Structure 1
Amino acid sequence: MTSLKFVPRRSEERGNADHGWLKTFHTFSFAMYQDHKHEQFGPLRVINEDRVAPRTGFGTHSHREFEIFSYVVSGELEHKDSMGNTEVLKRGALQLTSAGTGISHSEKAHGSAQVHFLQIWSLPHTPRLTPKYFTREFTDAQKLNTWVPVVAPVGSPGVFDSREGKGPAPVQSALTLYATLAESGKRLEQPLKGRKGYVHVVQTSGFNMGKATGATVRIGGTKTSEELELKEGDGAYITLGNGGATFVLENVGDKTAEVLLFDLE
């Protein structure tokens, strides 16, 4: 029966650091945090959950090849890059940079409030692509109690290769990213097409370096007897057998859960 399996990635086991201006968690090896058991999963290479203090941030630095997307949870993120893009991103924004042959950019907290965002990196299927930049907006109402695709491969239905537009941001990786705000008691299903997946519960209630607390969800599937409970900051690796499966998430706590789900081909 079991074609969908989970391996938990507990919040307190991730890399974390408090630099004063930056409070961060690393799901995969990054910077000073290195763990050979958590280097990459399919095309997914980085999930950093960052909180940046007002008027501070990451100064101008360079990237090549990786596709880098920022998912803004709260506050305002100021983006500037060598392609001439300058933008302030607010809650609900999804900004994607395909670094390709090389770009430089900076990311800083804009205004008087901390910015909380997830920075995610994936590997494209083709090297040395022309750098591109995309922005998408997704409201809380759009994500309420449903899975909304916010990133999807170029050529997928509803994906438009334009700088601004509706629908998912176009990525050159074998990755689809869904987001939801699941209210207490709600049960959501999402078919997975790839052979792998990853789920992450966003730390919306605050930076917590200890055991995960906050919103609580239970994950499972239509082709598995396995179930796993996750709280804010927790995640799980998902593997699928032949024929795919439908991922199931149920909010079993008393707080709305913001959750990201990766379908990895």
Structure 2
Amino acid sequence: MKVVSRPSHERGNADHGWLKTFHTFSFAMYQKADHDSFGCLRVINEDRVDPNTGFGTHGHREFEIFSYLVDGELEHQDSMGNLEVLKRGDLQMTSAGTGIRHSEKCHGPKQVHFLQIWSIPSTRGLQPKYFTRHFSDEEKREGWVRVVAPADAEGVVEEREASGPAPVHSPLSLYATIFPAGASRTHIFPTQVAGAVRKAYIHVIQRSGYNPGRASGATVKISGKDGEEKELREGDGAYLMGEPGEELKVENVGDREAEVLLFDVE
């Protein structure tokens, strides 16, 4: 397994007062040719938005856009008639397709912390759709929870609200987990494409507070069959390239809970 670190302090970072944001990939004024995308994964922005502020109504086309709520409340409103307040544990997915307009604002007196993630759809010109799902901290503490999966995968339901992962029209699966101190778990690289290198991206959510400097807080160690090990702290990520069926081990080696996202992508 090949591991390429993506340290938190090397991400794009901007403090606009009302918005504090990190960009894993090129976005807005932050442009890095060597961090432009990873397979179909195009955007991972870790955002904090102050009360009574937010992103005004704006348009999107031809992206699969999902928001993963970490803390606080996010109000989503769009041109499809959806108006919803998302809370901790919620995941909202918008398939923008031929075009939608939406706004995202902090709801209530507390700053909202969420990750906005975009992927490139496998098919252009899709009809816009909207989905929400909820996943509790309790189930995330028990293991990897598949919160997003390809729309044609087994067990995925294309309904606005349902159990199971939200459908995405990209070759992408997103897993979320919460590691108690000392916990470890493994993930197996998919085997659908025999002989092909599999890609994954791992991200440790920056739960302990906004930190534009070198990463601190919760600490996890990742390792593969060849013995290579890397430690990641809050805000850190890593590109992973492995063989189909190869095992990735992730272990919490710090003194506090770690919330981790893992993307399988093509």
- Fold conserved (TM > 0.5)? yes
CA RMSD of aligned residues (A): 0.9
Identity %: 66
1:222-241 superposed matches below 5 A? 223-241=225-243
Instruction: Show the counterpart of 2:195.
Output: none
Q: Distance in 1 between matches of 2:104 and 2:158?
A: 23
Instruction: Show the counterpart of 2:201.
Output: 198
**Is 2:218 the counterpart of 1:215?**
yes
1:19-30 superposed matches below 5 A? 19-30=16-27
**Is 2:248 the counterpart of 1:247?**
yes
The 8 Å contact of residues 145 and 186 in structure 1, kept in 2 or not, is answered as no
5+ residue gaps in structure 1? none
Q: Give the secondary structure class of the aligned counterpart of 1:95.
A: strand
Structure 1 segments of 4+ aligned residues over 2 angstroms from their partners: none
Instruction: Show the counterpart of 1:143.
Output: 140
Letter aligned with residue 249 of structure 1: V
Residue number among 34, 48, 71 corresponding to 2:31 in the alignment: 34
Instruction: Show the counterpart of 1:100.
Output: 97
Q: Displacement, 1:145?
A: 3.9
Letter aligned with residue 60 of structure 1: T
Residue number among 165, 169, 172 corresponding to 1:168 in the alignment: 165
The 8 Å contact of residues 200 and 259 in structure 1, kept in 2 or not, is answered as yes
Q: Displacement, 1:263?
A: 0.6
1:175-190 superposed matches below 5 A? 175-190=172-187
1:114-129 superposed matches below 5 A? 114-129=111-126
**Is 2:86 the counterpart of 1:85?**
no
Instruction: Show the counterpart of 1:262.
Output: 263
Q: Distance in 2 between matches of 1:225 and 1:128?
A: 44
Q: Displacement, 1:244?
A: 3.2
Larger displacement relative to structure 2 (157-166 or 199-208): 157-166
Letter aligned with residue 135 of structure 1: T
Query: TM-score, with normalisation over the residues of structure 1?
Result: 0.97
Q: Deviations over 1:39-89 (max 9, x none)?
A: 000000000000000010000000000000000000000000000000000
Letter aligned with residue 244 of structure 1: G
Q: Distance in 2 between matches of 1:75 and 1:187?
A: 28
Q: Distance in 2 between matches of 1:177 and 1:211?
A: 26
Q: Displacement, 1:157?
A: 2.1
Aligned residues: 260
The 8 Å contact of residues 145 and 183 in structure 1, kept in 2 or not, is answered as no
5+ residue gaps in structure 2? 192-197
Q: Give the secondary structure class of the aligned counterpart of 2:97.
A: strand
Q: Distance in 2 between matches of 1:50 and 1:224?
A: 35
